[in-house]
Amino acid sequence: SLVWVVSIKYVIFVLRADNQGEGGVMALSALARRAAAPFGRLQTFVVVAGLIGAALFYGDSMITPAISVLSAVEGLEIAFDGLEHWTVPLALIVLIGLFLIQKHGTARIGILFGPVMVLWFGALAALGVYGVIQQPEVLQAMNPVW
């Protein structure tokens, strides 16, 4: 039911919010503030709710990259012994590098990450094919008749 509530909320309210071509939490907040203008106290509540929504959005946009990079660097500890003391410094270096590159636009990041993603998915495909060759019975999960 949680998926339905969130999906319906986004389809009915958030995706239809259009503030002169802009969207998102702040656009929805501005539209709600205009609609609540005749109701004094309700307008204050709408502004506070919009600020809380924006704060949650900005907090999420900061914590998500940090957690993703930190978990990726922690995964390297499995492959390389003695990396435990370097986890946080390596994560900081990666994050600072990403944010420094990001200010130049997504095109620059695309130039960097395009080949990395091709390499990543190629490695996944190669390891998958190797695994299926080693243990072909895993294909039974796709079709029990095989």
Angle between helices 87-102 and 40-79 (to 10 degrees): 130
Count H helices, E strands: the chain? 5, 0
At residue 120, the pLDDT reads 92
Query: Tens digit of pLDDT for each residue in 59-103?
Result: 998 899 899 999 999 988 888 888 889 999 999 999 998 888 888
Burial 102-138 (b: 16+ CB within 10 A, else e): eeeeeeeeeeeeeeeeeeeeeeeeeeeeeeeeeeeee
The sign of the torsion formed by the CA atoms of 78, 84, 86, 91 equals positive
Q: What distance in Å separates the CA atoms of residue 99 and residue 84, rounded to the nearest whole number?
A: 24
Residue 73: which of 96, 92, 54, 52 has the closest Cα? 92
**Cβ-contact 65, 72 below 8 angstroms:** no
DSSP for 68-102, written as a single string: HHHHHHHHHHHHSTT-GGGHHHHHHHHHHHHHHHH
Domain ranges in the chain?
2-103
Query: Tens digit of pLDDT for each residue in 109-119?
Result: 788 888 999 99
Q: What distance in Å separates the CA atoms of residue 22 and residue 24, rounded to the nearest whole number?
A: 7
Range from 43-57, 61-75, 98-112, 127-141 carrying the lowest mean pLDDT? 98-112
